[in-house]
Amino acid sequence: MKIIIQSIRLFLALVILTGVLYPVVITGIAHLCFPTQAEGSQVLVNGKVIGSALLAQKSVDPKYFWPRPSAGDYATVASGASNLGPGSDALKKAIADRANQLRTTYHLAADAPIPDDLLTTSGSGVDPHISPAAARLQIERVAAARGYDAGKKAQLSRLVESSIEGPQLGFFGEARLNVLLLNQAVDALR
């Protein structure tokens, strides 16, 4: 009986330590050291949360840059990859369908290259970034949808180039653009 009581006491102590105290301390430190990140890297417009810089949002409006496709339809709860391998007929068909749709949308030749990130879904399904090539491909569409003249289109091109983020710590990953932040900057163009 004594061992059962000791086990229950140890269990309760560990629950309080690891389930209450540790999370409260770590959350407090995170809020002190990284307040924006601790709140989910929320993006605000006029005091209203419009999204998170960490998550892609579905967008089909032609006046905005589009994120890469999502296997989970940009849902954070069911985020994840399609789990289709390179030999999968379903994956090949999905890529071919996306390529045809993009070639039609952008009036590209049948053999014109398309950035891979516009053809394939990300591992999480909510990747907030696209490649510089994917953003450059979309400039013409965004400019046309917004009725930009040549000068304004050139300004949009410069905005895309200035929004390119380098690899993390200078060597992890590839150059990329955060779609939500880019679209917010496009809305701010005057």
Q: Spell out, as residue ranges, where the chain has pLDDT lower than 50.
A: none
Each residue's pLDDT tens digit, 5-32: 999 999 999 999 999 999 999 999 999 9
Q: Structure tokens of 28?
A: 């407090």
Q: Give SS3 for 51.
A: strand
Q: Where are the domains of the chain?
A: 1-39, 53-188
Residue whose entry in the numeric block shows the structure tokens 């289709």:
84
| pTM as predicted | 0.80
What pLDDT, on a 0 to 100 scale, did the predictor assign at position 58? 86
